[in-house]
């Protein structure tokens, strides 16, 4: 099976979801692709990374602008949509950095709340948002997909669990700082190689409030760590074809995961 992938990379306008929706619509229309198997958006495409204003933008999931927009995108392109993330809340719960996942018919089939919150280098995500309860695997008509958001990519234990559960693709949606672009590329490749899985990343580019630069560098990476397609800093839609069957054949030829212990005990001598 070859999966037709569209990844959106753009510069979000701080705090203005309506304008950001228009920008994404225009980018998808200019890409001239009328359909896809999988569409992926960046982290916090709704408002950009602007932590002091996270809670101001929060909406209930089912009444949110993000929900309505992503639902329509899924139906329009007949695609599975992993809708980046937005600050959303469920009834009676605190605000979370949440990814909404829709199937080709526009039905919400899963949500993922960012599991590792970034609160370093002067940023304070954890001061405004509640962390998620667990990693999430989404079963789709193109395979099993593991979900992650930005900072999650630094925690290989989470990705190993996805591999043990035989995911076909791992997605990372990010608002990664430009100053650490090399780290992001290296981590994404490492997660692909060590877990023998395809990794797809969608990252914001440009700036927020002229104060924070994002890396861009959205990518599709194969199970050997080779970049299939990538963007640099431009606003664009990346198109790539992901060969799922070829990946499965490779795993049979080199069954590293079968040799991997589920746990390791250290002896101190």
> Tell me, what CATH number does 173's domain have?
3.60.110.10
Residue 120: inside a domain: yes
pLDDT at residue 51 in the model: 78
Residue 131: inside a domain: yes
Active site residue 234: no
Q: CA-to-CA distance for 83 and 61, rounded, in angstroms?
A: 13
Reported as a single tens digit per residue, the pLDDT across 178-199 is: 999 999 999 999 999 999 999 9
Residue 264: inside a domain: no
Q: Which domain holds residue 88?
A: 2-259
Q: CA-to-CA distance for 56 and 186, rounded, in angstroms?
A: 34
pLDDT at residue 155 in the model: 97
User: Once rounded to an integer, what is the mean pLDDT over residues 80-90?
Assistant: 96
User: Once rounded to an integer, what is the mean pLDDT over residues 13-19?
Assistant: 94
Q: Give the residue among 126, 185, 186, 115 at the shortest CA–CA distance from 155.
A: 115
User: Once rounded to an integer, what is the mean pLDDT over residues 24-51?
Assistant: 95
139 burial level (CB within 10 Å; 0-12, 13-18, 19+): exposed
Residue 180: inside a domain: yes
User: Once rounded to an integer, what is the mean pLDDT over residues 81-90?
Assistant: 96
Active site residue 114: yes
pLDDT at residue 119 in the model: 76
Active site residue 125: no
pLDDT at residue 121 in the model: 62
Residue 29: inside a domain: yes
Check pLDDT > 90 for residue 37.
yes
Catalytic residue among 43, 99, 178, 235: 43
Residue 268: inside a domain: no
How many distinct structural domains can be found in the chain? Answer: 1
Catalytic residue among 23, 71, 99, 114: 114
Q: Give the residue among 94, 83, 36, 19 at the shortest CA–CA distance from 238.
A: 36
Residue 36: inside a domain: yes
Catalytic residue among 23, 71, 125, 150: 150
């Amino acid at each position: 099976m070859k999966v037709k992938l569209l990844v959106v990379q753009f510069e979000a306008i701080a705090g203005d979801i309506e304008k950001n929706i228009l920008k994404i619509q225009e980018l998808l229309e200019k890409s001239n692709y009328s359909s896809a198997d999988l569409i992926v958006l960046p982290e916090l495409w709704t408002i950009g990374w602007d932590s002091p204003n996270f809670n101001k933008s929060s909406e209930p999931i089912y009444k949110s602008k993000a929900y309505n927009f992503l639902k329509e995108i899924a139906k329009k392109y007949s695609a599975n949509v992993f809708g980046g993330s937005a600050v959303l809340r469920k009834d009676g719960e605190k605000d979370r950095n949440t990814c909404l996942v829709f199937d080709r018919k526009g039905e919400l089939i899963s949500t993922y709340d960012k599991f590792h919150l970034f609160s370093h280098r002067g940023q304070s995500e954890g001061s405004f948002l509640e962390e998620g309860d667990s990693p999430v695997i989404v079963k789709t008509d193109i395979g099993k997909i593991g979900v992650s958001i930005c900072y999650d990519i630094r925690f290989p234990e989470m990705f190993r669990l996805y591999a043990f559960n035989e995911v076909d693709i791992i997605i990372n949606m990010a608002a990664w700082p430009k100053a650490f672009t090399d780290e992001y590329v290296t981590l994404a490749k490492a997660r692909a190689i060590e877990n023998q899985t395809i990794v797809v990343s969608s990252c914001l580019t440009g700036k927020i409030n002229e104060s924070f630069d994002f890396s861009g560098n959205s990518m599709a990476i194969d199970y050997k760590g080779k970049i299939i397609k990538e963007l640099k800093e431009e606003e664009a839609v990346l198109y790539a074809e992901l060969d799922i069957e070829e990946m499965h054949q490779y795993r049979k030829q080199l069954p590293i995961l079968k040799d991997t212990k589920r746990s390791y005990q250290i002896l101190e001598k």
